[in-house]
Structure 1
Amino acid sequence: MTKSAQSSDALQFVWRRFLRIFPGFWAVLLVGAFIVGPIYWMLEGHALGAYFGFGPGSPWAYLYTNALLNIGQYQIWDIWSATTPYGLAGNGGPINGSIWTLVYEFTCYLLIAGLLFFLVLKRAKVLVPIIAACFLLLQVVNLLSGEGTGSSEAARIVPYLGSYWPTNFGLIFFLGATLAIYADRVPYSNWLGAGAGLVSLVTLRFGGFNTLGYFTTAYFVLFLAARLPKLFQRVGARNDYSYGVYLYGWIIEQVLAYAGVNRWGYVPYVFLSLVGAGACAVVSWHLVEKQALKLKDVGPGVGFAGIATAARSMANRRRREEGDLPASQPVEPRAQPAEPRETSA
């Protein structure tokens, strides 16, 4: 994301991130509310007409409450609350329990857009690792205070960070941003790659993954991306199904659990979940996400410079129509090229 920001202005970056996130997100909300919801409402013995009522817990509330990424309603009525293992464990029956992380992701995009707008990414890029270091410090504060989820001890230092997750995701994101900003200075070594992979495994097993492990895993993933055969670089090169797998994974898992597939064992359950989510991701990419991205250079996609040029053109056209400019005067006069200088042989 930071690499993308470096090749655009703040307006273009936000517009393109909006197109990448929101259309697919809104589509999965509609699928949950008007395809999955009605089917399982009736399978659980209710009349279809009652499903489309209004008020809290309704499919309409599910749509407008969640539309801006901040998930305020997970369930639609009581669907799946008593018919899936997750619901029977006392967790309710979320239609899509994975999408809660998107608001944190998009907030990080907005932070990057702010840094881009104030030219930090070009003229003061050292602030990016400083921000990452601040998130690391807050992460350590949370972990030492025993806060792994829920309320955050770091909120006493930074009130905005009212829970553990902004700190955790902020650290991950700005670690990646730092690697992007200083990509030309990151050493590339087989020994470092192997060591980073080993440290990542050790921290996963014995602790420390939420601090040191984030650093080593980030390096290890980038090392693999550069070291694996070229065949692996074709993954996602033309069609990016990753977001669709994320959006539809939970729904497919719950549908399979409702049918009792989870009792077949972990491996077949996970495999069929990936197959189902992958199929939905293909449809989501080609019908929604890819189509939305075709608008990336439209409207705000032209950026501040494009909007300024269009505004000047409109102003000059209006002045011509009012007679303030000669009709033959060009709208956007171009500077004459400099005369070439003679150089010695």
Structure 2
Amino acid sequence: MGLQPSTVTVNTLIKGLCIRNQVGEALDFYDDIMAKGFQLNEVSYGTLVNGLCKLGKLRSAIKLVRKMERHSVKPHVVIYTTIIDSLCKCGQIVEAHAFKGQWQEANWLLHEMVLLIAIEPDVYMFNILIGAFCKEGKIIEAEVALGRMMKCGEIPTVVTYNSLMDGYCSMDNVNESKEVFNKMIRSGLAPTVVSFNILIDGLCKSNMVEEAKVPFKEMGHKSVDPNAWTYNSPIHGMCRLGKMSSVQDLVDDMHDSGVAPDVVACNILLNAFCKSRNIDQGIALFQQMVALGVQPNLRTLNILIYGLCKGDRVNDAWEILNTF
């Protein structure tokens, strides 16, 4: 018939194939129509890049961006964000020797966006980078990314500050994490339950359980409802210090606040009872846990079996084992 498909038609076909995870077929279709002289737009390329990234084919996605540039199609910020996000996530699971290359690629793409193509990264992209840097303990790089973010006129969000807080806590620098928390409040942002949880958890892991009571109380003043994670950190800290009366107060407060204990909380308490040779209390807790609908996991079983065997109660251990 001699009819040329429209860009909308082509984009619809490519999107349909990618949605069905037929990215290989979509790329074959791309090669075919490009060979016939048909020009794709940034939507077509964006769909293909997204499909490749979802399959973990990051090198192919980057090569496709290079093809875009050769065909005079300017990549938009979403395409770069998709690739950088995938590179950062991949960087968290690849082995150390390959990891360095992933970071170099992500940094180069950001550099390319800003200096070569004059695309300004948005706050979402910066948060991806800062979060990934912090997870990998690269706090200096995260601070550099924050500086670049602010230089680009992007305002840090609660997500930005939470990532930095978590990064400092993971490096056992809870004091700097507190500084970031206070800076967030001074900037006019309202900390979320995640913000408080990061700080409380960091303090408790640094054996600063008493200091953790300050942000814990502040949550009430700011009308931020605690969740199971909020309680798990101080419960674990108090158990580690052997302050079981304080643990009971926290459990009671947890109940009064309407927060249901999860398997993590139950395992923390169970471990504390078994270590202090209060096996009967441990069994009672296990039974209560099951009655409340909390699903025990393998760690629950290991703690209980170990405690019972250490207390010369092998028959009870077998009985518990048979209930799983």
Structures share fold, TM-score greater than 0.5: no
TM-score by length of 1: 0.24
TM-score by length of 2: 0.25
Structure number with higher helix proportion: 2
Q: Which has the higher contact order (CA 8 A, sep 6+)?
A: 1
